[in-house]
Chains A and B, each alone.
Chain A
Amino acid sequence: MELKRTLLVLSLSAIAFKGIAQKAAIIAEDTLAKTKTESTTTIGGYGNAFYQRNSSTKTANVNLERFVLFVGHKFNDKISFFSEVEVEDAKVSGGEHGGEVAIEQAYLKFNLNANQYITAGLFIPRIGILNENHLPNSFNGNERNYVETYILPSTWRELGVALYGNFNRLPLNYSIALVNGLNSSAFEHGSGIREGRYEGRNASANNLAITGALQYYQGNFKAQVSGYYGGTVGASKTDVDVLGLKAGTFGTPVAIGEADVQYSNNGWSARVLGTIVSIPDAFNINAAYHNNTPQTEYGVYAELGYDLLYTANKQNQKQLVVFVRDEKFNINSKIPSNGVVDAALNQNHVVAGFTYLPIRNVAIKGDVRFVSTAQQNSNYNLVNLGVALSF
């Protein structure tokens, strides 16, 4: 009798819970769909892990490269918050080298109207392709392309304020942002300007940067031009005068230009990107910090892919993209007279492989990266196998 009563209570509870759950799901769906002033919190994330074998060292390693959680909160129709918290290499332990925990983005978004909004906080400016579209199941290859890693240091987030918008009558989008500048004393030989990013941690606000982009969408084409100009010295004028550097908002500047075109149609996809970085006062930076800063660095890449499972049926989510990409970049294309040319930083990479997506949010990837440099006897390849996801 007691057992029957317990079963009855459990059954009724299950039915009631199921009803509540269904109702909650419907409410959640409705909340997403409507645009009324309702406070909502959303979560998401992405991650990737891969195995890599190096033919030169004849070693292999496997790593959970990135795991990122998004949290967004909509306060009302005008104001929302968005954040990304990233863990690189799975583990960060005190006193040990490697791994990183970082706030990748944390900004407030203020909607002005249906075409314009302002962001303020730590965000990723629109420079290149990968900065804005860095989810690992959205690009081919286990590794991010090297041009947008070493020449354009993606993902490049800084503190500041930005205006995003699009025109009513033209297929053009624009963005302009004012952010903190770079730190030239942290530039390192072999990585260009990458180590000079503050990424939201105690950034100098004495030196600033302006960045802007213009995007054009039409059918299967997307084209973009973007630029960056900013100072790299945050110390006071009296401190840097003796070093021969210029302080101030745009003192000792870095200038970047970038252009890219993307195309996608009937299973084919193609993208081409070119970028150039100019540091006109590299001589003075080298004299002050001895970090072999280049005066000019550049990178270009072109990628072609085809989805072998492409069908006109849009409900089919499976994709098997085979691709090939050629990346050419030179981190010390022009070195000032007090620097040293490193031929190993003039590289050409050919990457070929596949990306299999059983569903749109999950990718299984395999690729080979053939690396050749201007340095003699330094050619090698990297075999990569991995998985990626986003939600």
Chain B
Amino acid sequence: MDRRLFVKQSCTMCVAIGAGLVIGSISSCATLPVYKTAIADNKLSIPETLFANSDFQIIQPKDFFYNIGLRKEQGGSYTALLLKCTHHDNQLIAMGNGFKCNLHGSVFDNEGQVTVGPARAALHKYHTEVLAGQIIIHIS
């Protein structure tokens, strides 16, 4: 195959695949649920109704520099993970099946356990409880 044609076709294919994935995701509304709230008395209060259609929610506390991943477990309890890499404190990106750090490539699964280093420690979990339809995350 002509070299220029090969390069052109390879690049076109890569761009097409990338664009296809992006457009496919957007068109199927594969959006990340985000809930913004403020910390009061070292606590976050999240309405349990947010989990009516999803078992995962990103919590974005005001004036906080890291998101919190809040997951509803099968037993009805909630797990709140601080999305801060335990290697060098970088913010993590939610991928749908875990969390990724772009600084050195560490990956954590949905339970906060390390699946790819260099991070070694699991993500920090906040204590949670449910009171009167509100999920309380204790920031401490």
- Residue numbers of A with Cβ under 8 A of B are 29, 32-35, 40, 42, 44, 46, 70, 72, 74, 77-78, 80, 82, 111, 113-115, 117, 126, 132-133, 135, 137-138, 164, 166, 168-173, 216-225, 257, 259-261, 272-274, 276, 298, 300, 314-315, 330, 333-334, 346, 360-361, 390-391
Q: Which chain B residues in 11-49 approach chain A with CB under 8 Å?
A: 11, 13-15, 17-18, 21-22, 25-26, 30-32, 34
Which of B87, B96, B109 sits near A171, CB closer than 8 Å?
Answer: B96
Q: How far is the CA of A170 from the CA of B93 in the complex (A)?
A: 11
Provided the pairs A33-B124, A42-B89, A391-B118 are in contact, do residues A173 and B17 lie with their beta carbons within 8 angstroms? no
Q: How far is the CA of A224 from the CA of B67 in the complex (A)?
A: 23
Provided the pairs A33-B124, A169-B31, A361-B120 are in contact, do residues A219 and B105 lie with their beta carbons within 8 angstroms? no
The answer to whether A360 touches B11, judged by C-beta atoms less than 8 angstroms apart, is no
- Residue numbers of B with Cβ under 8 A of A are 3-4, 7, 10-11, 13-15, 17-18, 21-22, 25-26, 30-32, 34, 58, 60-61, 64-67, 82-84, 86-89, 91, 93-97, 100, 102-105, 109, 111, 113-118, 120-121, 124, 139-140
Which residue in chain B gives the minimum CB-CB distance to A72? B88
Provided the pairs A46-B118, A223-B17 are in contact, do residues A314 and B96 lie with their beta carbons within 8 angstroms? no
Residues from chain A with a CB closer than 8 A to the CB of B115 are 314
Residues from chain B with a CB closer than 8 A to the CB of A261 are 14, 17-18, 21
Residues from chain A with a CB closer than 8 A to the CB of B121 are 29, 32
The answer to whether B65 touches A218, judged by C-beta atoms less than 8 angstroms apart, is no
The answer to whether A217 touches B95, judged by C-beta atoms less than 8 angstroms apart, is yes
The answer to whether B14 touches A260, judged by C-beta atoms less than 8 angstroms apart, is yes
The answer to whether B21 touches A216, judged by C-beta atoms less than 8 angstroms apart, is yes
Residues from chain B with a CB closer than 8 A to the CB of A72 are 88-89
Provided the pairs A218-B25, A276-B7, A314-B109 are in contact, do residues A225 and B65 lie with their beta carbons within 8 angstroms? no
What are 15 A-B pairs with beta-carbon distances under 8 A? A35-B82, A35-B84, A46-B118, A70-B88, A114-B60, A115-B60, A171-B30, A171-B95, A218-B30, A222-B100, A259-B11, A314-B111, A314-B113, A315-B113, A360-B118
